[in-house]
Structure 1
Amino acid sequence: MTEIPVPPAMRPETAGLSREERLAQRLRENLHRRKAQARALASGESVASESQTKTDLSKS
């Protein structure tokens, strides 16, 4: 079954946050994902990580 996309401002985890706080949160998530990708590349593992998959699913 397909989930209905929820705008970022209406998500429970971002309900009381300002636009700047939501942006900062997304930037932190992106940084963590990029660092995980870099670690995976350095160790020869697959680039696809759980956090990347989670983020990609939330965009759908």
Structure 2
Amino acid sequence: MADENDTNARQARASRDDRLKSALRENLKRRKAQARARAASADPSQVDDGSLDEGTAGQDRLDKTGDRKTSG
């Protein structure tokens, strides 16, 4: 009887491990697909200085007080 319980516990553990392996494998596939999609659709509005606004990229800006604030 103790052997039966031990066998059942091992089978349950193996079944759980298989489910986790499968879930992790699918999760990895999904994350890789998302990363490939993000890399393929690089944001064209992103410019060299890191500004997302194409109109003001690399230009001087005004801070809250109205003084010029250089980018960078």
| TM-score interval, normalised by the smaller of the two chains | 0.3 to 0.5
More helix by share: 1
Could you tell me the TM-score, scaled by structure 1's length?
Answer: 0.45
- The TM-score with structure 2 as length reference comes to 0.38
Larger strand share, 1 or 2: 2
- Between structure 1 and structure 2, the one with the greater Rg is 2
Higher relative contact order (CA 8 A, sep 6+): 1
